[in-house]
Amino acid sequence: MTGDIDPTPSPEQLRDALADYIRGRGTFTTERVEAAFLTVPRHLFLPGEELQDAYAPKVIKTKYGQDGTAISSASNPNLVAAMLEQLDLQPGQHVLEIGAGTGINAALMAELTGPDGQVVTIDIDDDIVEAARRGLRASGYQQVEVICGDGADGHPAGAPYDRIIVTAGAWDLPPAWWQQLATDGRMVVPLVLHPSGLTRSLALDLQQPDLMTSNSALVCGFVNMRGSTAHDGHTLRLADDVTFSIDRASSSGTDLSRTLTYPAHQEWTGIEIRDEQPVEHLDLWLVTTGSRFGRLSAGPDARDRGIATPALRWAGASFYDDSSIAYLALRPFEDGSRGTGRHELGVIAHGPTCTELAEHLAGLLHTWDKTRPAQPRITAHPAGTAELPPGYVIDRPGTRLTVAW
């Protein structure tokens, strides 16, 4: 009599499957990062999760605040891989991670830096730090130094660092990060570029003591940093299952509470958007036009009832004025011969000035369509820098940024 075959995949099989998924997305660009993913045992860092969940391509939330929002998580493995490719970590290098989380990313970086490298990771909560240490010990990466502290201060005792990577949404680039980055070093940071929460993972190269530049920007979302540089956004509830995130400073005098009670006004542009096209930075381009920008979030119930249907591709990118909102939308082309995966870009607006606002946004979309810039050119300078290169300026307490196309 033959025994039953156990259908449960092993951690090694799940690890291989996860690497296959990331490879299939085209995220791996180096064999070294792929090899690290094929080596690190993720499940040992997530002891409370089902084995298959530990290797699933999804975010796993690991700690919640008193209000029920997540304050720590294991990031989506595909995004982790993309940011490690941005980091370009080499054997023997010294790296600082802001945001230890589960410790998985530190283990991956220990694989990449090798026996002659050094990985330091820091988190603000004792329990998160202890959990990361346990995972690192259990998986054989006890050489990683895990520090409890405010990530905005970095870890000066181990500086300078060839690489700094931030694994939480950062509102600013604090002076400590500038000071602790080695000459010719690189910093990869998910920087919140607009108060609505629009975030990009930037690979910033230190060109001079007072200049970092980035030509690599990835769309991402992260739990926000806590501590001395924490920044909370401003979100309005417009209807059941619908919220609007905006800049508190620019929203003075607005009353958007009844906006969605007005009939929808639609402006369809004839602009074709294909699934495979690199148009992910359209929302950031709209920010740099200087109009009042926000992000409209509509849950499944609101979408089903037709209350609001913003395009998911740009996370509800919208414009607003004192009384109205206009948001980006997509619809399939009516001409079926144009094939699947092709949509028409348009604007849907609500409010007493919806027509004017929709026309304004549609006009900008036509301007964007003429060149469709693929990647922003972003520079960072310490706060107080007077002479900046041309571009849209973002001022933060520790940094001045410019975004150009």
Instruction: Answer yes or no: are the C-beta atoms of 229 and 174 closer than 8 Å.
Output: yes
Q: How far apart are CA 44 and CA 104, in angstroms?
A: 9
Burial of 12 (0-12, 13-18, 19+ CB in 10 A): exposed
User: What is residue 4's three-state secondary structure?
Assistant: coil
- Categorise residue 356: left if φ over 0, alpha if ψ from -120 to 50, beta otherwise: alpha
Closest by Cα among 96, 91, 85 to 156: 96
User: What is residue 167's three-state secondary structure?
Assistant: coil
If residue 85 lies in a helix (H) or strand (E), which one and from where to where? helix 77-87
Catalytic machinery residues: 75
Residue type, 393: V
Distance separating the N- and C-terminal Cα atoms of the chain:
69
Angle at 405 between CA 314 and CA 273, to 5 degrees: 35
380-387 LR contacts (CB < 8 Å, sep 24+): 380/173, 380/204, 380/211, 380/212, 380/213, 380/214, 381/210, 381/211, 381/212, 382/175, 382/178, 382/210, 385/210
